Chains A and B, each alone.
Chain A
């Protein structure tokens, strides 16, 4: 029966995307080139009224507040689940996954690097509110407010634990993704996070086939591995992880003193429970010290190597910018390496603009990518270095604890703690007496 259920789940989820793909079925406009008919200009729906944006922001604020309360004070997994469903319906299916805090990173970055770009206030709110709440309460945004996390959490049916080494290695991708997204946003090339948002097509029941496949695969994986996007891809999660380390209040597995019963040891599907540490042997301590010294020396080398590698990719990364792509296409056409024109190259040629001007503009953009590549690569190098250092530092833990960075506050571990049951029993008795 278990196998049958797995097959059915996998089959159904993988086929969701195929069905929704048809929603992306489009066709070109009629061809009126040789006639006098003028194709009407496409009409753009007006922006939503400001009041709805403020409502969105208010809902976000309320959801974050409620989520924080449910995680820190109420400690109710069931209430969190209900809030998660609400967030999925409101921010996901109703608001079509936009605005989202994850994509807001790009708006903020672009507004920093492009003075002509004005970032909408609601985007700023969506970007900042979760960060502020994380500073105080940990990742309560991830717990029950983010629709991307919610859709993955709902399909988590048969969780398996990943080994910690795999978790560490895979998490590196999120940092690279964050760096790439910032680089592309800063250069005005693309909003990478939005373009490859794996779940927005599901929220909208329409989208490109590739993205639907990506979203479907992540959901399929998410049946067994909890929230793969949140843990290994989400660039906003990278920022939240770091802020969560500094949070004033945090999720605790037990509402009281840990009695080391080990019942919660395997309860977290996201691998966020840390076991108590033990003392190292003198031999391990000595080798650990040497390793740490070596890695500290290696850190600037990794940063420089990363920067150099990032800058050397400028010719590749700059292709994310439409001007560079157009210039390359024109170059290929001009040198006879491409025979047909594309719509873009034909449109450019129709403008009568100088090709040398286009080349010059593309070269300038490449130069920006070269500089940005140093920062991007340097960032990735530093992340690798710091991660290696972090894994070489001796930790001191006496109790079973939720990892400050990794814990998303889903509340699954609460019910595994005997002290939690005592608390609930006491609370019930107190209520009954009243």
Chain B
């Protein structure tokens, strides 16, 4: 750079007082600007950088409110603090705005005064001292070319640096994957309570029908369960998932399907509970009655405490949330369902008039609540099912008094039927174009699922009012629907009109829901005896296998295998070859 000559200082001095006044004004305005700026910076720092005690308290209270959502005093304090902090920030903004105007004014005066002072110091024209202009111009052009070449090199180097950095190949879907499994993948596995769609139907017919837990015949392995639970196993390829809990701990387990070893245990810590309100749940239900759900990448579990936890397949906890302890007479037991990336939670509680029940969709990846919708029902113990009906997925829920269908993507209600009463535990199923729901001890209702709004009067295909199971969910092969009462009364009805084809009293107690394998029903009683029954026009028992341990959970079926949860152990039944 070539500084310009400054040879007019004498002239400037001659102008005397005007020049000094201008400089003095410049100094004063500069000092003023600096002072204003300092105040603005201080104000900025206070509002942006420094976390006040109120903000820290608010942060802590927000964490606390998750475990005490109904604490009005806490809510009131949060609102008060929130308002206080917002007022402080608004005041800060106001000060900043005023300060900015003052600063702008100061700088304007500064510039004007310096410009004015400059008029007293105008410089005389100068000449370059170059003697050989020709050489000078050629040299300047050469330097300029080199400057451009240097610019080009810098651009090229920058390009190279950026180009060689690893980039994401979106077409490599094997690495990227998708958020949710395909229908085919779901059908090949047993990802939720009662398998694909919650229908209780095995995709495999090569499962064993002969084993003996006492001799070990047909038992590939059995593994002791760390904590109790009534939830059923779910299976994804070579992994089996379960949950277990007691009043103090909540865990999710991953088992190796080959060896039966526990690959990992995941703790769901849950929100801290208030000591003065000890939470207890009915012993028969337990703290881990709901079955977990998996999408092939992660597994999520909910417990009677309202704690929901999600883990990846390596056991790393992805997230956990607390929905608050559900107000459930016998303890929360609804299993989780899944639609694409959403974990669906039928969070029914209290009475219908309490308006506390909700259907909640949580993003499986992040744990964020994507949508939730109030349900006009009381507490229930049935599990939602997600089925594809005429190319549209529906979430079907059954509770007192409404059977309601929702759009799983957005939570919008599709249709509802008022036909239930009492404590609803059996889950709905879908077969041959109809939804089947059970009112315990009362009836079986078939509903056409193509309506909109309240279709109580129009879409009930038929009712069979000769009683119904109180716990076990039904199963259907499309032609017949089979009901299994807790006391062992197994009945077969026509899907078309609900007429009873036959019934047989097995005279055993059942809690596990029946499943269909090919054309055989698998019924697991409380003593761990599996009854294999022909699913035909008459009762015909084809096998009976004993496990040797009491069982409450429904079995899971895989390729050539059955996974059964006993009271204390998880069993893998199959052929060793």
Contact = CB atoms under 8 A, between A and B. Distances in A.
A333 B138 contact: no
Contacts of A16: 33, 37, 103-104, 107
Size bin of chain A's contact surface: 35 or more
A354 interface: yes
Contacts of B167: 315-316
Contact of A8 (B26, B37, B103): B26
A313 B159 contact: yes
Interface in A1-48: 1, 4-5, 8-9, 11-13, 15-16, 18-23, 25, 27, 30-31, 33-34
Nearest to A166: B147
A391 B143 CA distance: 10
Interface string A139-158: 00000000000000011010
Given A19-B37, A154-B111, A275-B133, A161 B179 contact: no
A334 B363 CA distance: 13
Contacts of B63: none
A21 B370 contact: no
Given A25-B47, A263-B125, A18 B162 contact: no
A163 B1 contact: yes
Contacts of B126: 265-266
Interface in B369-405: 369-371
Nearest to B371: A350
B369 A22 contact: no
Contacts of B44: 18, 21-22, 25
A334 B174 CA distance: 11
Contact of A169 (B43, B151, B160): B151
B272 interface: no
A362 B92 CA distance: 42
Given A161-B4, A168-B148, A205-B100, A349 B341 contact: yes
A8 B163 contact: no
A155 B118 CA distance: 12
A164 B140 contact: yes
A384 B151 contact: yes
A31 B63 CA distance: 13
A23 B34 contact: no
Interface of A is mostly: helix
A166 B65 CA distance: 62
A349 B179 contact: yes
Interface stretch (A50-58, A191-199, A242-250, A277-285): A277-285
Contacts of B93: 22-23, 25
A231 B65 CA distance: 57
Contacts of B146: 165
Which of B111, B114, B168 gathers the greatest number of chain A CB atoms within 10 Å?
B168
Chain B CB count within 10 A is highest, among A20, A279, A352, for A352
A123 to B, nearest CB: 28
B128 interface: yes
Given A23-B100, A25-B47, A359-B173, A312 B365 contact: no
Contacts of A384: 148, 151-152
Given A25-B92, A266-B4, A346-B366, A392 B170 contact: no
Contacts of A341: 363, 365-366, 368
B143 A22 contact: no
A162 interface: yes
A155 B365 CA distance: 54
Contacts of B540: none
Interface string B7-37: 0000000000000000100110110011011
A143 B363 CA distance: 57
Contacts of B342: 352
Interface string B98-141: 01110110110011001101100000011110000110011011
A297 B159 CA distance: 23
B40 interface: yes
Instruction: Tell which of B115, B173, B366, B410 has the most Cβ of chain A within 10 Å.
Output: B366
A40 to B, nearest CB: 16
Interface in B221-255: none
A428 interface: no
A18 B1 contact: no
B97 interface: yes
A391 B145 contact: yes
A309 B4 contact: no
Contact of B128 (A13, A265, A302, A313): A265
B391 to A, nearest CB: 15
B499 interface: no
A416 interface: yes
A281 B40 contact: no
A76 interface: no
B363 A165 contact: no
A15 B34 contact: yes
A13 B170 contact: no
Contact of B143 (A4, A165, A366): A165
Given A262-B127, A305-B156, 17 more contacts: A5-B23, A9-B30, A15-B33, A16-B37, A25-B47, A160-B1, A163-B1, A165-B147, A167-B144, A205-B104, A206-B100, A265-B125, A310-B159, A316-B163, A341-B365, A359-B173, A363-B171
Interface of A: 1, 4-5, 8-9, 11-13, 15-16, 18-23, 25, 27, 30-31, 33-34, 154-155, 157, 159-169, 172-173, 176, 205-206, 262-267, 275-281, 284, 302, 305, 309-310, 312-313, 315-316, 327-328, 331-336, 340-341, 345-346, 349-350, 352, 354-356, 359-360, 362-363, 366, 380, 384, 387-388, 391-392, 416
Interface of B: 1-4, 23, 26-27, 29-30, 33-34, 36-37, 40-41, 43-44, 47-48, 62, 65, 69, 82, 86, 89, 92-93, 95-97, 99-101, 103-104, 106-107, 110-111, 114-115, 117-118, 125-128, 133-134, 137-138, 140-141, 143-152, 155-156, 159-160, 162-163, 165, 167-168, 170-171, 173, 175-179, 312, 339-342, 363, 365-366, 368-371, 409-410
5 contacts: A22-B43, A27-B86, A363-B171, A366-B170, A391-B141
